[in-house]
């Protein structure tokens, strides 16, 4: 990871997570939200607790991406040059993201604790749009039925850390943060305990005064999550493969 990110490190977390509160401008946020909203309706997959767009396409059953460029609006002019300057994907096989999930959460919606898994280079870069949201971080063994005895008297459902993602921010999770922890977003209409002790990236926030009351009401929040899929198949090869079976 490039040295330029040192000031953005979330020091309260195990290695490595970085938070940049003003990654994009307000105008860029409006433009990106408008691009998300103008995607054709079939681009959205409606899940029970959020909806999502998958760019350029969903992975195949064996976690392979069919090679296809990302749409221009998701990379240039805003995101790709900034990722490049920060060196975020320097160690990834493609040295750039090749896959983006766009998640939309209405108030009351969220995502169950999960890990992103081995299909990707172990790094996620998340751009947040529209409204703040708390990302809950859980120790993996807490949810792993085979090691329930490790949990002792701890509340099994309590997050170990909470990261506040402001609108226009960038969050990068990699290293042990990617491999050893689960992440999720609570299905709530109000995130509470928003203060120095409850939020691990408090010192890096842009607008602490917005959270003076110690809570905020959820509003529609959109995330762009950039990743590098490890297995990529060229369409030509796939066609040859399919053709060869005839
Ligand atoms: O919306 C977010 O910040 C998290 C999304 C997420 O965890 C995922 O898409 O795998
Ligand atoms: Fe995830």
Condensed to tens digits (0 to 9), the pLDDT of residues 66-104 reads 999 999 999 999 999 999 999 999 999 999 999 999 999
List, in order, residues 6 or more apart from 218 with CB less than 8 Å away: 105, 106, 107, 108, 131, 133, 188, 189, 190, 191
ipTM score above 0.90 = yes
Asked whether the beta carbons of 15 and 176 are under 8 A apart, the reply is: yes
Q: Measured in angstroms, how far is the CA atom of residue 206 from the centroid of ligand 2? A: 24
**Atom 2 in ligand 1: residue holding the nearest Cα:** 223
Q: Is the pLDDT of residue 223 over 80?
A: yes
Of ligand 1's atoms, which has the minimum distance to the CA of residue 183?
Answer: 7
Specify burial of residue 170 (Cβ count, 10 A radius: 0-12, 13-18, 19+). Answer: buried
Of ligand 1's atoms, which has the minimum distance to the CA of residue 223?
Answer: 1
Of ligand 1's atoms, which has the minimum distance to the CA of residue 221?
Answer: 1
Q: The whole model's pTM is what? A: 0.91
Q: Measured in angstroms, how far is the CA atom of residue 43 from the centroid of ligand 1? A: 17
Mean per-residue pLDDT for 205-229? 97
Ligand 1 within 6 A of 111 CB?
Answer: yes
Distinct helix (H) and strand (E) counts, the chain: 6, 15
Label residue 156 by pLDDT band (50, 70, 90).
low
Q: Which ligand is nearest to the CA of 101?
A: 1
Label residue 144 by pLDDT band (50, 70, 90).
low
| pLDDT value of residue 242 | 58
At residue 90, φ and ψ (nearest 5 deg) are -55, -35
| pLDDT value of residue 235 | 78
Condensed to tens digits (0 to 9), the pLDDT of residues 23-55 reads 999 999 999 999 999 999 999 999 988 999 999
Condensed to tens digits (0 to 9), the pLDDT of residues 158-214 reads 999 999 999 999 999 999 999 999 999 999 999 999 999 999 999 999 999 999 999
């Amino acid at each position: 990871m490039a040295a330029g990110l040192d000031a953005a490190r979330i020091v309260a977390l195990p290695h490595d997570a970085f938070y940049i509160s003003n990654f994009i401008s307000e105008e860029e946020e409006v433009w990106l939200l408008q691009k998300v909203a103008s995607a054709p309706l079939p681009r959205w997959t409606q899940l029970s607790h959020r909806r999502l767009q998958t760019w350029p396409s969903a992975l195949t059953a064996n976690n392979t991406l069919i090679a296809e460029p990302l749409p221009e609006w998701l990379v240039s002019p805003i995101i790709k040059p900034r990722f490049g300057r920060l060196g975020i994907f320097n160690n990834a096989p493609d040295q750039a993201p090749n896959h983006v999930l766009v998640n939309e959460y209405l108030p009351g919606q969220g995502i169950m604790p999960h890990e992103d898994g081995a299909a990707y280079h172990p790094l996620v870069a998340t751009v947040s749009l529209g409204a703040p949201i708390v990302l809950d971080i859980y120790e993996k063994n807490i949810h792993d039925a085979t090691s329930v005895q490790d949990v002792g008297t701890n509340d099994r459902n309590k997050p170990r850390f909470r990261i506040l993602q402001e609108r226009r921010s960038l969050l990068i999770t990699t290293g042990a943060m990617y491999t050893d922890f689960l992440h999720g977003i609570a299905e709530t209409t109000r995130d509470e305990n928003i203060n120095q002790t409850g939020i691990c990236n408090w010192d890096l926030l842009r607008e602490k005064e917005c959270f003076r009351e110690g809570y905020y009401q959820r509003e529609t929040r959109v995330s762009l999550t950039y990743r590098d899929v490890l297995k990529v198949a060229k369409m030509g090869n796939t066609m040859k493969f399919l053709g060869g079976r005839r």
